[in-house]
């Protein structure tokens, strides 16, 4: 069974679905709209952001990176007070 390509038009989608089962037009439209919404979802893994970091920080988690920055600031004599997790500005 062939898989419908991502760039398929409504006509191609309709032919594909109708070849498999009988569906009313209103349901075809809903299915096509749902398909477009699902195809528009992207997942960001943070890989591009990690590439902008220095080489020694790329493998660190956000918590480890925060601890490192905090330790560096304290070693330079700066006093940093953490905000509450749900700080309101």
- 4-8, 40-44, 84-88: lowest mean pLDDT where? 84-88
- Domain locations in the chain as residue ranges: 10-39, 43-78
- 58-62, 67-71, 83-87: lowest mean pLDDT where? 83-87
Mean pLDDT of 56-77: 90
The mean of the pLDDT values for the chain is 88
Give CA angle at 50 (45, 53), nearest 5°: 165
Assign 1 a pLDDT band (cuts: 50, 70, 90). Answer: very low
What single DSSP character describes residue 56? G
């Amino acid at each position: 069974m062939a898989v419908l390509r991502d760039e398929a038009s409504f006509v191609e989608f309709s032919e594909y679905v109708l070849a498999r089962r009988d569906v009313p037009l209103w349901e075809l439209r809903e299915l096509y709209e749902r398909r477009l919404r699902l195809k528009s979802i992207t997942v960001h893994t943070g890989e591009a952001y990690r590439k902008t970091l220095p080489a020694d920080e790329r493998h660190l988690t956000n918590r480890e990176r925060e601890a490192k920055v905090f330790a560096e600031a304290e070693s330079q004599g700066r006093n940093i007070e953490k905000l509450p997790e749900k700080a309101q500005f």
